[in-house]
Structure 1
Amino acid sequence: MKQTWRWFGPDDSVLLSHVRQAGATGVVTALHHLNDGRIWPAEEIATRKALVEEAGLTWSVVESVIVHEDVKTRTGRYRELIDNYKASIRNLSKAGIRTICYNFMAITDWTRTDLDYPMWHGGTALRFDIVDFCAYDVLVLKREGAEADHPAERIAAARTRHAAMSESAVAKLEANLIGWVPAREFVHDREGFRRVLDVYRDVTPEGFRENLFTLLREIIPVAEEAGVKMAIHPDDPPFPLFGLPRIVKDADDAAAILAACPSPSNGLTLCTGSYGANPRNDLPEMARRFGPQIHFAHLRNVTKEPDGSFHEAEHLEGDTDMVAVVDALLAEEKRRKAAGTEDWEIPMRPDHGHAIVDDIGKKVNPGYSCIGRLKGLAELRGIMRTLETLRS
């Protein structure tokens, strides 16, 4: 597989020289400073591409051209924004960048309650605690209808948890949930978040799904004409939050998305962490089933708890059989190569590494520390090399 690395641009504390030292050859990045629905100009794309290539690397995947909230809800400027999206696809293709990872998560993007959860080895990980989330949703945000979305025993535990929280702990939890995520289109304060939630008040899962399918019927023909592969990222976590619809949470959702607009350009990002947080998902089976439509892979692992909480595990630990997933992806690459497919390699990246060693205490994008991802990539590379040797 093509070994890649997410890079947040010139302001990233992890340098492109570090990416090369980690052993990656491809970069996954985006024009984050322009990610508000406007067209990505050819000149800006060329500038970013030149930075990557000057470091001896290749811009392999765009992550992401963000789908604006107006497009998700089909309100406001959605028509103009869809046209802008098509133009960005065309401009990226002209620059030779032909894989776009994107998501269709309402408002929140990926969500965690704890960005520095202590691990047994002394480093930290990302964690989603369902009781902490309930405490915020019901007792801090006081979202209308929130109590109906949580079982009574969880609300009781949340009340106990919230009573023990200091003001600073509540503020930190709120910042983690609604105030910050790398490359998010915008951030919210509490009142602003309530207002944007209100936009979704009458949006049902069925209606939200149809909004996605309608978007795909518009942009996939453009992507196919331009030779671009669109790879939708699953919801993270893969279950409803804040009463918002989640429509990319399991294998059935993935199959429905592919069927809604059949095309070589309509495909998936196989994120083993996001899909893996849903107990219903069998990741090796999904890798085998959807192999031809997998255009990009995020390889990470999670350890789930019975109540729905989870934390990000070591790449080769956790609940997903990573060896079996990689084996299935390598088998798909072999099939593509035998069929004469020119772009037979599947780009992958190690996702959400732990903060360990010298990265502890440094200012880094949580989940995107250098050494934790370097360790994960080395482990994944070892799996790939071993399986490739056994096949030869």
Structure 2
Amino acid sequence: MSRRDAAVETVLRKRWPDPACWDAVVDAVCSAESSYDADQVLIQAGTAIARHADRIAVDLRRQQGSFGTAVGRGVTVRALALAGTGDLRALPALHSLAEHCGLPYSRPEARVMAALPPAPAELAAVMRTKLRRDGDRYHGNTTALEVLALCGADAALAVDDVAMRLDTQYAYDAMRVLGRIGPPAAATADRLAAYATGRGKGARGSYPRRAAWAHWKVTGDPALALDVCGAAVRTGTASHGLPFLADLGPLAAAHAAPVRRLMESPGAWTRTYAAHAYWRITGDPGPAIPALLAQVDPAWDGDPAMPVREAVRTQGEIGAPAVSAAPLLRRILAQGERLGRPRAGVRILADQAYVRTLTEALEGIDGWGK
């Protein structure tokens, strides 16, 4: 096995690889020894390669050519890797890629771009361009909307472009973006209300709950969200309404009793969402903590059927009252192997997300009141 292949295998498998392994990956990608696997690993590296940012930025400019406008896989890999470190020098390349339909179409790769916290408005402008250039392409829309949702209110300039997706197959994702943008998206309130009441084009399944939640976020009026999401809890389609009731918090006090009953549901996701919602609504962590702790399997391998990460995150939000979970969370965080279930192309990203959740949960529990 070559040095490059050994390094790629190690960083895919080990949560805390020797920094020399990351050095070898950067060397491979910035030379003629690059490979698809090495590229995929570099895109997922994040701050692990921050010390190589200058080298990657130089190589990115070389890939772009003398005019700085060339696009292609080499430019994409380096721009995403640089973005993952939080380096703003990635932005011009991302803009150029968006202009030429060169940004990636997979959600995990797109989310790497959200690692540019100093520049969410500029990142939102890139995604707005992507929406306009990609037209009806499925992944082009879903990835752009994913990142715009992460930009929150900084995506306000994209409201019209997002609203255009409300009558398409991307409506559910568009509602999430509009809700995250909030009051600057108030002009979409009537259309969101139509979806929430079943009058929107294609309104079905969980659309009404998300639409009602988004309506509350853009208008500040919780009445529709309380009615629609509360009805979901009472009629047995609760898993789609519980996260929104949790966001409403004490405003949803009238629904506390049915939410608590759902903590005994046979479905793990429903139990977890119900525990989170009950705590957010009532402020009482007592019933929620054991329900959440029961979902934290130390042998979890990333199986999406299990709400382990969500249970951990909620315990961190609860803080000191969840102190009984701290020893288990520390043991999980100290494990040397990455999550094994996600495919190689997203394994590092998935594991990094889990590590962040564990770390932030422990900070929430240990740092309560400081």
Greater relative CO (CA pairs within 8 A, separation 6+): 1
Q: Which has the higher strand share?
A: 1
Higher helix share: 2
Q: TM-score of the superposition, structure 2-length normalised? A: 0.30
Greater Cα radius of gyration, structure 1 or 2? 2
Normalising by structure 1, report the TM-score: 0.29
